[in-house]
Structure 1
Amino acid sequence: MNFNRLCSQKQFHIDPACIREVQEISLSSQFQHKHIVQYYGTFKDKTKLYIFLELATGGSLLNLYQKHKLSDSQASKYTRQIVKGLKYLHEHNVVHRFCIIFEGYLVDVNGTVKLVDFGLAKFCKLNDIKSFKGTAFRMAPEVINEDKQENDGYGFAADIWSLGCTVLEMLTRQHPYPKLEPVCISFNGNK
């Protein structure tokens, strides 16, 4: 495989249960947007699968957040960029479902924020996702809701809730419900 550009690499041991990685490749290869890390290709040897992605030399939004207190204007700028990436995904009927955590955003050399990691992403019609996936502190109530009816589900709004939690954390430097353990949120999220 020959690339005429720098790229990052994700490496996985080949496992018959590597559905998440196959799903990530399948989805990532379809996306072309300024605020989504670009997929360049894959390579497989006897024991490993390699995914090649656009290099974002600025690191993760988490790194920026931990090193510097973000101003309101910086948080606003990053939020606008994230919304553009989510809008693109939602227009293509994809829910990110990573519960939008700081590690799920990378920053390139120009300061552009890009969504990454589509291992939990899923195609969605109208609120038809029923599985319990994501990061507890950023899960929307409809994802956590233990009283789900068989025909209830969730969709794009869950990504927006998670983004709101991320914005709150950018501004306050604390995740939502800072005094609760993740397991407690799972039991109290719909109250």
Structure 2
Amino acid sequence: PAPMFHWSKWKKRMGASASSSKRPVFDEREDVNFDHFQILRAIGKGSFGKVCIVQKRDTEKMYAMKYMNKQQCIERDEVRNVFRELEILQEIEHVFLVNLWYSFQDEEDMFMVVDLLLGGDLRYHLQQNVQFTEETVKLYICEMALALDYLRSQHIIHRDVKPDNILLDEQGHAHLTDFNIATIIRDGERATALAGTKPYMAPEIFHSFLNGGTGYSFEVDWWSLGVMAYELLRGWRPYDIHSNNPVESLVQLFSTVSVQYSSTWSKEMVALLRKLLTVNPEHRFSCLGDIQASTYLSGVVWSDVCEKRVEPGFVPNKGRLHCDPTFELEEMILESRPLHKKKKRLAKNKSRDNSKDSSQS
């Protein structure tokens, strides 16, 4: 078995130093811990381990709790990503993001308690063959433009904007999640890593990777938004790209293939999509101002969008949890260390350790 990971090494990063006003990644004072939540049901697997619905005992507020086994995290070499995601989430909060409320750990797991969004992700709804109208997609573009504009103000490139990472609330508003491969860039810096999900990655990411060019910046998220908007409207993506396509062929593809827009879409929507799917990042729409200036969105009352006062065209079915029901069974039956038995298990380990200690003295 792999040696136990030395979490103490990470303590320096987790407990904020006295001089720093930043909240620590894991609360050193342990104000909040696992016992403060009641587990209601398991709902799925995400990039950060598994997810369940919980209720905070004192306030009765409901959240989603993501948890990841530390040992597994080390074996999969995901420690850095987890910490980066936590560090980023601690510093941000926005109406169209999935926000972090608490993070803590015990001997076995790391936990993140985040906004509970029960409307399912957009990938799920695409797979259910939901026909998204232009009006609906228009609102998603507005809501995501506000989220991306906010992230830019916080120097964050998300790098993984796609339907899988957009969660709907019960009213149908969009929220961006999963900061697993996000990066922070300071003024004038550029990112260079080949990161993202290929079909949604902007051309300059591949360019920079191949030619060691000047790197890329915030514009990449707006390209992904364009790909996603097109896919929601059409049911397939503007470019036929798959995860196994070699990077060389993709660079070629963007310079030769022209995107086909549906003749049924309004001219203004097509014009907006063209500006998001502009290969040259310098000419691409890539900030809120660009979006707000487009003819298509000239009638949008942005203050209403911010306050979630614009009614979404697509409202997820109430009464159905939009997730895979087999997951819950798995968690109860197949999981070797199920969450709902944690308290007993940790107590048992503790008493075993105590008896070991006393037998050695």
Q: Shared fold by TM > 0.5? A: yes
Does the residue aligned with 1:189 lie in a helix, a strand or coil? helix
- Name the stretch that deviates more: 57-66 or 18-27: 57-66
- Distance verdict in 2 for CA 1:148–1:118, change over 3 Å: same
TM-score normalised according to structure 1 size: 0.91
| Displacement after TM superposition at 1:65 (Å) | 2.6
Decide which structure has greater helix share. Answer: 2
Does the residue aligned with 1:182 lie in a helix, a strand or coil? coil
- Name the stretch that deviates more: 35-44 or 7-16: 7-16
What letter matches 2:140 in structure 1?
Y
Give, in whole Å, the separation in 2 of the partners of 1:142 and 1:59: 31
Match of 1:161 in 2: 223
Does the residue aligned with 2:138 lie in a helix, a strand or coil? helix
| Displacement after TM superposition at 1:147 (Å) | 2.9
Higher relative contact order (CA 8 A, sep 6+): 1
What does 1:110-121 correspond to in 2, within 5 Å?
Answer: 110-121=171-182
**CA distances 1:11-33 after superposition (whole Å, capped 9, x unpaired):** 11214441111111111111121
Largest Rg, 1 or 2: 2
The answer as to 2:127 corresponding to 1:71 is: no
Q: 1:53 aligns with which of 89, 114, 133?
A: 114
The answer as to 2:212 corresponding to 1:149 is: yes
- Distance verdict in 2 for CA 1:66–1:181, change over 3 Å: closer
Match of 1:96 in 2: 158
Does the residue aligned with 2:91 lie in a helix, a strand or coil? coil
Q: 2:86 aligns with which of 14, 22, 25?
A: 25
**CA distances 1:26-52 after superposition (whole Å, capped 9, x unpaired):** 111111211011101112111211111
Contact 1:105/1:115 (CA < 8 Å) preserved in 2? yes
Contact 1:136/1:185 (CA < 8 Å) preserved in 2? no
Match of 1:36 in 2: 97
Give, in whole Å, the separation in 1 of the partners of 2:67 and 2:248: 35
Percent identity reads 22
| Displacement after TM superposition at 1:185 (Å) | 5.7
**Which residues of structure 2 form unaligned runs of 5+?**
1-31, 37-55, 253-361
Match of 2:200 in 1: 138
TM-score normalised according to structure 2 size: 0.50
Match of 1:108 in 2: 169
Give, in whole Å, the separation in 2 of the partners of 1:106 and 1:59: 6
**CA distances 1:127-152 after superposition (whole Å, capped 9, x unpaired):** 511111100001111111243336x1
The answer as to 2:191 corresponding to 1:129 is: yes
Match of 2:69 in 1: 13
Contact 1:127/1:156 (CA < 8 Å) preserved in 2? no
What letter matches 1:82 in structure 2?
M
Give, in whole Å, the separation in 1 of the partners of 2:157 and 2:66: 22
| Displacement after TM superposition at 1:81 (Å) | 0.6
RMSD value over aligned CA atoms? Answer: 1.6
Contact 1:137/1:176 (CA < 8 Å) preserved in 2? no
Give, in whole Å, the separation in 1 of the partners of 2:227 and 2:156: 20
